[in-house]
């Protein structure tokens, strides 16, 4: 049989997948590993999509997305994210995953380097590999709550660096970048002629403060910033596979042609759901946000009670728990916790070397599971630390 392309080997096995595979072999496991909201998609969104599907021919949508959704997204991005945009700046994509991959294909030459956060979402190195580029991890440090430091990134630039990926609020740490550091990073990118790909997937999952997106208050047509957003987390719509990419109108046109050539478009029914999400009542999204905030407080309360350190998350759906005092690495800790206490979490090493010494606990599960899971976590931690 002929061999597959080398590209198939450019995608590492995800550490979350490894844990999920192991979890399937253990009965009654508490699932604290996945960032998939446990809520139903709000009823008005599902209803609007169902009504539309029942009454309309399901034809091909335009490659960049239906005009009314691009218009609504431009309005949302302008008012909520302070990125003054028009419909021509928007491509509706298959999740933020689709948006990020298209952004990489649009700016990276094969062999170019892109700096990716470490710890950071495991999807980045995988899609960089698929795009034929090289992912170079930039280290984020627990000492400052894993926030980005522009001067650290400047030291890593080489003549081959073509882009920097930024994710705030962060998966897995929940850290929100300091707006001053973000501004310094944008100035650096402008000075050195480098793109910033901003993963704004959790832009509306922010607990105590306001979120400043990388592209906020910049001129979209001239700034070197491309922003990827998602419906997945804000509206509990992971399965609808809907996101969007916001960029200059010229780059957006290139992205539309790349989307046409690769996947054609996001599904029509999902686009109608997205339109209802943006135009309908926002209370369900606000209620889910308060539930996540409450779970964050429950989780940190239990960890405090047991004297276990963690990074206090300002946003996203995770608590990054510090297990360095246990004396075992994150993979052994997560595997032991799963085998011995039936609690599935994600080892920090799954997000890069700088994530080792930490365990990611997801807030996208019921409060009861979170309480029970963290109580067992604390008992396991105590047993290992003696």
Ligand X SMILES: Cc1ncc(COP(=O)(O)O)c(C=O)c1O
Which of 89, 177, 232, 330 is in the footprint of ligand X by CB under 6 A? 232
Which of 81, 85, 89, 97 is in the footprint of ligand X by CB under 6 A? 97
CA distance 359 to 320: 6
Task: Specify the residue, 189 or 201, whose C-beta has the smaller distance to ligand X.
Answer: 201
Residue 28: other Cβ atoms inside 10 A: 5
Task: Specify the residue, 67 or 239, whose C-beta has the smaller distance to ligand X.
Answer: 239
Which of 61, 72, 121, 278 is in the footprint of ligand X by CB under 6 A? 121
**Stretch in the footprint of ligand X (CB under 6 A) among 53-61, 91-99, 150-158, 214-222:** 91-99
Task: Specify the residue, 123 or 142, whose C-beta has the smaller distance to ligand X.
Answer: 123
Distance of closest approach, residue 32 Cβ to ligand X, in angstroms: 15
Task: Specify the residue, 278 or 302, whose C-beta has the smaller distance to ligand X.
Answer: 278
Short-list 306, 343, 294, 299, CA closest to 320: 299
Task: Specify the residue, 165 or 216, whose C-beta has the smaller distance to ligand X.
Answer: 165
CA distance 19 to 201: 23
Task: Specify the residue, 95 or 357, whose C-beta has the smaller distance to ligand X.
Answer: 95
**Stretch in the footprint of ligand X (CB under 6 A) among 16-24, 53-61, 92-100, 102-110:** 92-100
Which of 91, 230, 252, 362 is in the footprint of ligand X by CB under 6 A? 230
Q: Judged by CB under 6 A, does residue 96 bind ligand X?
A: yes
Which residues ranging from 23 to 52 are in contact with ligand X (CB under 6 A)? 35
Q: Judged by CB under 6 A, does residue 270 bind ligand X?
A: no
Residue in this structure with the two tokens 């996540």, named with its chain if needed: 292
Query: Pattern of binders to ligand X over 193-212, x per CB under 6 A?
Result: ------x-x-----------
Q: Where are the alpha helices (DSSP H) in the chain?
A: 15-23, 43-55, 67-81, 95-107, 123-130, 150-156, 179-192, 249-262, 268-279, 283-305, 330-341, 367-385
Task: Specify the residue, 41 or 232, whose C-beta has the smaller distance to ligand X.
Answer: 232
**Stretch in the footprint of ligand X (CB under 6 A) among 53-61, 89-97, 135-143, 294-302:** 89-97
Task: Specify the residue, 264 or 309, whose C-beta has the smaller distance to ligand X.
Answer: 264
CA distance 358 to 60: 45
Which whole-number Å values give the CA distances from 47 to 2, 60, 69, 237, 265, in the listed order? 48, 21, 17, 13, 22
Eight-state DSSP code of residue 188? H
- Based on its alpha-carbon atoms, the radius of gyration of the chain, rounded to whole angstroms, reads 21
Distance of closest approach, residue 242 Cβ to ligand X, in angstroms: 7
Task: Give Cβ neighbours of residue 51 (< 8 Å, ≥ 6 apart).
Answer: none
Q: Are 107 and 197 in contact (CB under 8 A)?
A: yes
In which region does residue 133 sit, left (phi positive, over 0), alpha (psi from -120 to 50) or beta (all else)? beta
Short-list 93, 29, 145, CA closest to 252: 93
Q: Judged by CB under 6 A, does residue 95 bind ligand X?
A: yes
List residues bridging with 31 in a β-sheet. 344
Interface positions with ligand X (CB under 6 A): 35, 95-97, 121, 123, 167, 171, 199, 201, 230, 232, 238, 243
């Amino acid at each position: 049989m002929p061999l597959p392309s080398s590209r198939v080997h450019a995608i590492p096995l995800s550490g979350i997948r490894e844990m999920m595979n192991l979890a399937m072999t253990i009965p009654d496991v508490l699932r604290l590993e996945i960032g998939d909201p446990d809520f139903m998609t709000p009823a008005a969104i599902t209803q609007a999509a169902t009504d539309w599907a029942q009454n309309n021919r399901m034809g091909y949508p335009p490659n960049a997305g239906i005009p009314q959704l691009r218009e609504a997204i431009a309005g949302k991005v302008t008012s909520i994210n302070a990125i003054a945009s028009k419909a021509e700046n928007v491509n509706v994509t298959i999740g933020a995953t689709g948006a990020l991959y298209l952004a990489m294909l649009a700016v990276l030459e094969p062999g170019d380097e892109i700096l990716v956060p470490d710890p950071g979402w495991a999807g980045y190195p995988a899609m960089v590999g698929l795009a034929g580029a090289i992912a170079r991890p930039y280290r984020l440090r627990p000492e400052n709550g894993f926030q980005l430091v522009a001067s650290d990134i400047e030291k890593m630039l080489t003549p081959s660096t073509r882009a920097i990926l930024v994710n705030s609020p962060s998966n897995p740490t929940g850290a929100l970048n300091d707006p001053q550091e973000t501004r310094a990073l944008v100035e650096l990118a402008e000075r050195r002629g480098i793109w910033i790909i901003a993963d704004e997937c959790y832009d509306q999952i922010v607990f105590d403060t306001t979120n400043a997106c990388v592209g906020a208050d910049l001129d979209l047509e001239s700034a070197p910033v491309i922003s990827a957003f998602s419906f997945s987390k804000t509206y509990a719509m992971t399965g609808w596979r809907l996101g969007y990419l916001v960029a200059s109108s010229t780059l957006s046109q290139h992205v539309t042609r790349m989307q046409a050539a690769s996947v054609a478009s996001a599904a029509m029914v999902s686009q109608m759901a997205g339109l209802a999400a943006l135009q309908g009542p926002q209370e369900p999204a606000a209620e889910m946000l308060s539930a996540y905030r409450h779970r964050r407080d429950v989780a940190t309360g239990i960890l405090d009670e047991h004297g276990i350190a963690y990074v206090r998350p300002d946003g996203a759906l995770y608590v990054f728990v510090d297990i360095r005092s246990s004396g075992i690495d994150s993979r052994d800790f997560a595997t032991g916790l799963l085998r011995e206490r039936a609690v599935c979490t994600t080892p920090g090493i799954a997000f890069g070397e700088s994530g080792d010494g930490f365990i990611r606990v997801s807030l996208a599960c019921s409060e009861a599971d979170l309480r029970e899971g963290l109580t067992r976590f604390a008992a396991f931690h105590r047993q290992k630390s003696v």
